[in-house]
Amino acid sequence: MLSYRHGFHAGNHADVLKHAVVVQLLRYLNKKDKAYWYIDTHAGAGVYSLHDGYAAKTSEFDTGIGRLWEEKRLPPALAEYVDEVRALNGDGELRFYPGSPYIAWRLMREQDRMRLFELHSTEIDVLRHNFRDAGHRAMIFSGDGFDGIKALLPPAPRRALVLIDPSYEDKKDYARTLTCATECLKRFATGCYAIWYPQVERAESQRFPEQLKRLQPNNWLHVTLTVSNPPEGGLGLYGSGMFILNPPYTLAESMKETLPYLAETLAQDSGARFGIEYRGN
């Protein structure tokens, strides 16, 4: 929805899960010299201030990156994620939070390329400003990533990480995500697709994981991080999930070490828990 601004939620527990996974996926792609594309269907602004504007009004980052910022003994995957956040905060104070595009830009090599979609008229202006010096390595598209991604697949190097993470404030996003992933797999079956979704008291969210599992019978990883019991009244985010199609074989083991730590450290009440489901080839 065009009213949605991710800045309100930047750095919260859902971002921690999503970006910890994204860092691991990109680092795995970097193990081979061959180029890849990073494609983001809902890129947002790219970078968010935590002391001003939307994030300062809600301080949701206190429930996420804020709890990890001073920790000295993090599991390896979380340490690598926090390092990417630290790279944006050179003085050691947590002032800014990197969105997925900024994290990807930091980890990409010279031979890799970025393709970003953003529909919100204000967010895309900020996104373009943040990537004004990216040159030919980054292409930014004003429009609906659900539709726009079709023209990009298969990518020229036949390697890609695709992040699909709409806000889901419009309940149609659940069905559109499933359709988008299905069509992407038809065009580029070997791509790595990372799908984020919220845990909320909504029927579409409750049945979404089982629908994702039907996208392909094998070669997927489903991880969840729940930080609290569902809120009274049924409104509010109490966790999130990442569903990865064609994940690297190393990711499941990495998450087995990461998720217990996150469930304990980011817990808001007795409902905190985590989940890992994996189906290999």
Residue 258 lies in a domain: no
User: Given the structure tokens 């797999």, which residue do they identify?
Assistant: 185
User: Considering its fold, how many domains does the chain have in total?
Assistant: 1
pLDDT for position 203: 94
Residue 269 lies in a domain: no
Residue 174 lies in a domain: yes
The CATH number given to whatever domain includes residue 129 is: 3.40.50.150
- Does residue 4 have a pLDDT over 60? no
pLDDT for position 138: 96
Residue 270 lies in a domain: no
Burial level of 127, CB count in 10 A (0-12/13-18/19+)? buried
Torsion of the alpha carbons at 123, 239, 243 and 174, rounded to the nearest 10 = -60
Residue 180 lies in a domain: yes
pLDDT for position 3: 43
pLDDT for position 54: 58
- Does residue 26 have a pLDDT over 50? yes
Residue 239 lies in a domain: no
- Angle at CA 255, nearest 5°, toward 69 and 118? 70
Does residue 165 have an active-site annotation? yes
pLDDT for position 18: 98
State the DSSP H helix or E strand holding residue 19, giving kind and residue range, or none if neither: helix 13-29
Q: Which position among 15, 40, 112, 165 bears the catalytic label?
A: 165
SS3 54: helix
User: Which residue, 142, 229, 151, 160, is CA-closest to 183?
Assistant: 151
Enter the DSSP assignment of 8.
G
Q: List the domain range (segments joined by +) for residue 190.
A: 6-201
First to last CA, the chain: 36
Residue 186 lies in a domain: yes
Q: What is the pLDDT of residues 249-270, one digit of tens each?
A: 999 999 999 999 999 999 999 9
pLDDT for position 121: 86
Residue 248 lies in a domain: no
Q: What is the pLDDT of residues 172-218, one digit of tens each?
A: 999 999 999 999 999 999 999 999 999 999 999 999 999 999 999 99
